[in-house]
Amino acid sequence: MSDRIFRWGIIGTGYAKEFAKGIPALPNAKVVAVASRSQERADAFGREFNLPHCHDSVEALAANPEVDVVYVASSPRYHAEHAMACLRHGKGVLVEKPFSIDAAEAEAVYALAREKNTFCMEGLWSRFLPATRQIAAWLAEGRIGTVRQVMADFGFCTPYDPKKRHFDMEQRGGCLLDVGCYSLAFTAMALGQVPEAISAQAMLCPTGADEQTAMVLKYPGGGLALISAANRTRTPHRGSIMGTLGRIEVDGPTWAHGATLLIEGEPPLVVEPKIPLPAGTYQATETMRCIEAGLIESPILPAAEVIARMRIMDEVRRQIGVVYPKG
């Protein structure tokens, strides 16, 4: 990279704190601005991270000439709206997962990014970690042969509260959108973007959000994926990619802090669960690398894959009967 310092703006003051804490580890980046619906929250965030610009609207941050690129970490129901506000002002965006609520929103955001010739990427942070990059390399090298099956789960247990974002339909709650996206991205890395058949079952909570969802995806060529997501059931957080020559085992498929390559007749090859830098900095680094190279999307997590994943989730929600309120 050049000597350019990327000036980051942040939309949202909750989960975004972890991102803001990690940016100082990067020599070519600094956070300079934040936006919140509340000036009080924006000012508090600004004091914590010593930011010169604290805005009470997304539009003000998007128009700020001191901001080069924006991390969108607002509530998921606003991701598309806020990303598009920044793109209209020529600001590159890193949009926290889930990228959007549905495929239509995702298509609209990426279409605007292409129109403005401006960078846009989903902030699915685990995809950019060292272990995940190594898994992708093993797959590209054909180390385990033809992939036949993927198994991945992500389930945690949180007490039911209809007002919590996990269960509140106004906040677009449900385990599929919240954590199922990780295992679906893990599957796409191994089997491709578009399955030819999808089957899903779920348990819904009283608000109508899915609290436990299971999916079977069938891919061209004979590959199958068995995926589960949950927010009231703790699961092992493991992933397996099985091929004709061997398999890859992952401790925490969504986090991918470590991975093991197992090929018959060879000693296991282990990627230790080490993350030298704060986890969020890897996606920030890829964002800045792409912008510096004049790219408008990342080859690691391209627009086509994100849109395809949103279409899968649209179909899963249709099958399990989850319908978000309009507006």
Who contacts 106 (Cβ-Cβ below 8 Å, separation ≥6)? 80, 99, 100, 303, 306, 307, 310
Q: Over 60: is that where the pLDDT of 58 sits? A: yes
Q: Is the dihedral of CA 240, 241, 242, 247 positive or negative?
A: negative
Contact (Cβ atoms closer than 8 angstroms) between residue 322 and residue 208: yes
Prediction pTM value: 0.96
Percent of the chain having pLDDT more than 90? 91
**Would you tell me the crossing angle of helices 103-116 and 303-320 to the nearest 10 degrees?**
160
Query: If pLDDT is split at 50, 70 and 90, which confidence band does 60 have?
Result: very high
Residues 245 and 264: their CA atoms lie apart, in Å, by 7
- Give me the torsion for CA of 271, 293, 16, 24, rounded to 10°: 80
Query: If pLDDT is split at 50, 70 and 90, which confidence band does 9 have?
Result: very high
SS3 state of residue 49:
helix
Tokens representing residue 287 in the block: 């964002």
Amino acid (one-letter) located at 135:
I
Tokens representing residue 168 in the block: 């509140």
Average pLDDT over residues 38-63: 97
What is the tens place of the pLDDT at every residue in 128-172? 999 999 999 999 999 999 999 999 999 999 999 999 999 999 999
What is the tens place of the pLDDT at every residue in 253-298? 677 778 999 999 999 999 987 788 888 899 999 999 999 999 999 9
Q: Over 90: is that where the pLDDT of 251 sits? A: no
For residue 15, what pLDDT is reported?
85
* Domains contained in the chain, CATH given: 6-121 (3.40.50.720), 131-274+308-320 (3.30.360.10)
Who contacts 213 (Cβ-Cβ below 8 Å, separation ≥6)? 174, 175, 176, 180, 200, 201, 202, 203, 228, 229, 230, 316, 320
Q: Which is nearest to 227 in space by CA: 245, 208, 260, 254?
A: 254
Average pLDDT over residues 211-231: 97
Q: Which is nearest to 228 in space by CA: 243, 218, 238?
A: 238
Name the percent of the chain in helix, strand, coil, to the closest 5: 35, 25, 40
Q: Is the dihedral of CA 252, 253, 254, 256 positive or negative?
A: positive
Q: Over 70: is that where the pLDDT of 113 sits? A: yes
Q: Over 60: is that where the pLDDT of 1 sits? A: no
What is the tens place of the pLDDT at every residue in 115-140? 999 999 999 999 999 999 999 999 99
Average pLDDT over residues 229-233: 97
Average pLDDT over residues 86-105: 97
Q: Over 80: is that where the pLDDT of 252 sits? A: no
Q: Over 70: is that where the pLDDT of 62 sits? A: yes
Residue 1 CB coordination number (10 Å) = 12
Q: What is the mean pLDDT of the chain?
A: 95
Residues 61 and 85: their CA atoms lie apart, in Å, by 9
